[in-house]
Chain A
Amino acid sequence: MAGIKLENLIKSYGDTRILHGIDADIADGEMIVVVGPSGCGKSTLLRMVAGLEAVTAGRILIGERVVNDLEPSQRDIAMVFQNYALYPHMTVRQNMAYGLKIRGMSRAEIARRVDEAADILELRPYLDRKPRQLSGGQRQRVAMGRAIVRHPQVFLFDEPLSNLDAKLRVQMRLEIRKLQRRLGVTSIYVTHDQVEAMTLGDRLMVLNKGVVEQFGSPIELYERPASVFVAGFIGSPAMNFLPVRVEGDAAILPNGARLPAPARAAGEATLGARPEHLTPDEAGPVAVEVEVLEQLGAATLVHGRLEGTQHEMTVQLDGVRAPEAGRIMRFAPGQLHLFDAASGKRLAD
C-alpha cells in the first residue's frame, strides 16, 4: 500500500499551460476526488499520475518512488475509464485476466482472483459474455473488476459513472465507496458532479483552470469555501452572491438593507448566502421579489430578485410552500460568507 504525493506538478501543451503547479499529499488508503468544470485539467492530472501523459515539470511520487519516468505498467496502478475501455473481443473473464496473464501469474492464481472479483462485483453469471452483451452498469462493473484483480497500490477513476442513468449512478457510487473502503486502496476519482464528489471523497480537490482552489474535506468545503468559485461550485442549489459594501461590522446590500458582516473588511466585497441558510422571517432584512417556484416535494425552491434590484436569488424552503409569484418574501440570514471583491478569496472571519 502507498500514498501519493504531487509536488508542484505542471503540464503544458506547447505554450499553453494546462496545470499550474499542483501540490497534494494523499494518505495511504485515502480516496480523494478531483472536481471542477469541464476543461479545467482533471483528466490531464489523472492521466499524468497514470503515466499516460508526460510530466512537464514537478514530481509524482507513489509510495516512496518517484514515478515521473516510469511506464504506466510499472506504476502499479489501475484505471477505470469513462467509456470503460473494455477489450471488445474478449470475454469478461479474459478482460479481467489480461493484465494478470501478462504479469505471468499462474493459471490457478488468475482463476482465483477473477472469481474473487466476480463475487465481489456480482459478475459470476456474465463471465463468459462479451462486453457488447452487457448493460452499461455491468460493463462498468467489469471495468472495476479489471482494476481490482490486479491488487494495485492505486485506483484511478476518470468519471466512471457519467455514462450511466441517474438511478444506477447513485447505486454504483455507493458500491464504489464500499469497495474502496473494503480494499483500502488509495484512490483518485475525477468527476465534474459535485454531489458525487461530496459523497465519495475523504477529501476534495477543487480545480479551476489548472489551479487548485481548495483541497479539504467535503464539510470544510461546504462550511468554509476558500473562494467564490468553490462556494459556487459546491452545494446545490448554488450559493447566492451579492455585491456589498462593508462599513464597520455591517454589510450593506445593493438595496440598502444592512446585514451583520461575517468577516472584517472595508469597502467593496462579495457576500455569499446558501439558499438553505435563509429562513423565512417577517422581520428579516433580506427581501426577495418572488418570480418562480419549484416544488421538489421535500423542499421548495424560490427563485426571485433582491427587492428593488436585478440581483437574482434562490431560497430553499422545507416542505411544500405556496407563496404566490410577485409577492415579497422576507428572510433572516443564517450562515454568511464574505469574499474579496477583486480576487474572490475568502475574507478571514
Chain B
Amino acid sequence: MLKRVHFPASPLPYLLVAPQVLITLVFFIWPASQALWQSFLIEDAFGLSTEFVWFENFEALFHDSQYLASFWRTLVFSGAVAFLSMSFALALAAFADHVGRGAGTYRTLLIWPYAVAPVLAGALWLFMFNPTLGILPYLLEMVGYEWNHHLNGTQAMLLVILAAAWKQVAYNFLFYLAAMQSIPRSVIEAAAIDGAGPVRRFFSIVFPLISPTTFFLLVINAVYAFFDTFGIIHAVTQGGPANATTTLVYKVFNDGFVGLDLGGSAAQSVILMALVIALTAVQFRFVEKRVEY
C-alpha cells in the first residue's frame, strides 16, 4: 500500500486561486449569464418595458437574411484569414529554418506584428490603403486600378482580411518554426540523400510531419478571425460599406450598441459563445490526442 500524503487543511490554496476565479466570474461568467438572460427578453422601443419571450430572438435571427449573410461572410473571412496567414507563416518558417546567419534578427522582426494591438494594426493598414492619402492606392492607380474601400465592398473585405491575417502571421510563424525545428535533422538529410530537392522535401516530409501544428493553428486562427478581429474591422471599415465587412462579432456590437436591439444582440453573442465552446472542444479533443503518423 502506498501511503497518501496528507496536507493540513489551509486557506492558502483557495487564496491563491481566488484572483483567477474572481476574474473569470466578473469578466466572463457574469456577462455571459447576463447575455444569456438578455437573449430571452424583448425590450420595447423606448426601453420602458421588457417581456420574456423564450427563443423568439433566436427565431428572428434565423429568419433574418442579414444575419445569415453575415454568417457566410464570417466563414469566408475566417477561411481567408486563416489560409492567408498560415500559408504565409509557413513559407516564412520554411525559409527561417534554412538560414543560418542572422536567423535571430530575422525571427525577432517577424514576431513584431504580433505585439501590435488589433486597432493599431487596423489603423496601419487603413493609412496604407487610404484612397486619397495611402501609398498603395497611389501605386495601384499607376497601373490603372482604382482602389476605394469606402465604396467597394470587395475591396473593403480584402483590406480587413489582409490586416487581420498580417497580425496573425507572427503567431503562426512561431509555431511553425518550432514544429519544423523539432523534426530530426537526419530525417531531412536522409531525404536529401534519397534525391529529394528542397521543395519536394518540404511537401513530402516536412509538411506531413507538422500536420498536428497545422491543425492546431487552424482552430486557433478560426477562433481569432471569428472573435478577435473586432478591433481591426472597427478601425478600418466599421463593418461597411453596406455591411460588406460586418462579421458576426461586429454585428453583435452594431445591433446592440448602435441599433440598440439588446435582445437580438444578446442572442447573437450567445450563438458566438456556443461556437467558441464548440471550437475549443474540438481543439482539446484532437490536439490532446497526438496526431497519428
Contacts from A to B (Cβ < 8 Å): 50-52, 71-73, 77-79, 81-83, 85-89, 98-99, 102-103, 130, 132, 146, 150
- A sample of 10 more A-B contacts (CB under 8 A), given A73-B195, A86-B187, A89-B293, is A52-B193, A72-B192, A72-B193, A85-B184, A88-B187, A88-B293, A98-B196, A102-B194, A130-B293, A146-B190
Task: With both chains docked as a complex, state the minimum distance between the C-beta of A133 and any C-beta of chain B, in angstroms.
Answer: 10
B189 touches A85 (CB 8 A): yes
The residue among A78, A89, A146 with the most chain B CB atoms within 10 A of its own CB is A89
Tell me which residues across on chain B come within 8 A of A88, comparing CB atoms: 187, 209, 293
Say whether B49 faces chain A, with CB atoms less than 8 Å apart. no
Task: Report the separation of the CA atoms of residues A78 and B189 in the bound assembly, to the nearest whole angstrom.
Answer: 11
- Contact A73–B293 (Cβ < 8 Å): no
Q: Determine the residue in chain A with the shortest Cβ distance to B192.
A: A72
0/1 interface trace, chain B 195-221, chain A, CB 8 Å (1 if under): 111001000110011000000000000
Contact partners of B209 in chain A: CB under 8 A: 88-89
A88 to B205, CA, bound (A): 9
Q: Give the distance in Å from the alpha carbon of A130 to the alpha carbon of B208 in the complex.
A: 14
Question: Number of B residues contacting the other chain (C-beta, 8 Å)?
Answer: 18
Task: Assess A99 versus B194: contact at CB under 8 Å? Given A89-B209, A130-B293.
Answer: yes
Q: How far is the CB of A113 from chain B (nearest CB, A)?
A: 14
Within the complex, which residue of B186, B187, B192, B205 is in contact with A73, where a contact is CB–CB below 8 Å?
Answer: B192
**For A52, what are the chain B residues with a Cβ–Cβ distance below 8 Å?**
189, 192-193
User: In the assembled complex, how far is the CB of residue A278 from the closest CB belonging to chain B, in whole angstroms?
Assistant: 44
Q: Can you list 12 residue pairs at the A/B interface with Cβ under 8 Å?
A: A51-B193, A73-B195, A77-B193, A81-B190, A85-B184, A85-B186, A85-B190, A87-B205, A88-B209, A98-B194, A103-B195, A146-B190
Residues from chain B with Cβ under 8 Å of A79 in the complex: 189-190, 193
Most buried by A among B184, B193, B196: B193
Least Cβ–Cβ distance between A95 and chain B, in angstroms:
9
The CA-CA distance from A103 to B184 in the complex, in Å, is: 24
**At the interface, is chain A mostly helix, strand, loop or mixed?**
loop
**In this complex, what residue of B is CB-closest to A152?**
B193
Q: Do B189 and A102 touch (CB < 8 A)?
A: no
Task: Provide the bound-state CA to CA distance between A146 and B189, in Å.
Answer: 13
With A83-B184, A89-B293, A130-B293 in contact, do A98 and B191 touch (Cβ < 8 Å)? Answer: yes
Give the residues in chain A near B191, CB-CB below 8 Å: 87, 98
| B184 & A99 in contact (Cβ 8 Å cutoff) | no
**Residues of chain A lying within 8 A (CB to CB) of residue B200:** 102
Once the chains bind, are B186 and A83 in contact (CB under 8 Å)? Answer: yes
Residues of B within 8 A of A83 (CB): 184, 186
A102 touches B195 (CB 8 A): yes
A81 partner residues in chain B, CB cutoff 8 A:
186, 189-190
Mark contacts of B59-103 with chain A using CB atoms, 8 A cut-off: 1 yes-contact digit, 0 otherwise: 000000000000000000000000000000000000000000000
In the complex, A146→B190 CA distance in Å? 10
- Min distance, Cβ A92 to any Cβ of chain B, angstroms: 13
Residue on A nearest B185 in the bound complex, by CB: A85
Which B residues are in CB contact (< 8 Å) with A130? 293
* Contact (Cβ within 8 A) B208 A73: no
Q: How far is the CA of A83 from the CA of B187 in the complex (A)?
A: 9
Closest to B186 in A: A85
Give the chain A neighbours of B204 by CB distance below 8 A: 98
CB closest chain-B residue, reference A147: B193
**Central interface residue in A77, A87, A132, by most chain B CB within 10 Å:** A87
Cα separation A263 to B46 with both chains bound (whole Å): 116
Bound complex: CA A150 to CA B184 (Å): 22
Kindly provide the distance from the CB of B156 to the nearest chain A CB, expressed in whole angstroms: 42
Inter-chain contacts of B189 with A (CB < 8 A): 50, 52, 72, 79, 81, 85
Report A-chain residues with C-beta under 8 Å of the C-beta of B194: 73, 98-99, 102, 146, 150
The closest CB in chain A to the CB of B205 belongs to A87
Contact of B293 among A50, A78, A98, A132 (CB under 8 A): A132
Q: In the bound complex, do residue B195 and residue A99 qualify as a contact, i.e. CB atoms below 8 Å apart?
A: yes
B214 vs chain A, min Cβ distance (A) = 13
Report how far A47 CA is from B124 CA in the complex, Å: 49
Q: How far is the CB of B98 from chain A (nearest CB, A)?
A: 14
Contacts of A51 in B (CB 8 A): 193
Residue of A nearest to B189 (CB): A52
Q: CB < 8 Å: which of A50, A86, A87, A103 contacts B193?
A: A50
**B209's closest neighbor in chain A, by CB?**
A89
Considering the chains assembled together, what is the distance between the CA atoms of A136 and B249 in angstroms?
53
Q: Which of B186, B192, B195, B208 contacts A89 (CB 8 A)?
A: B208
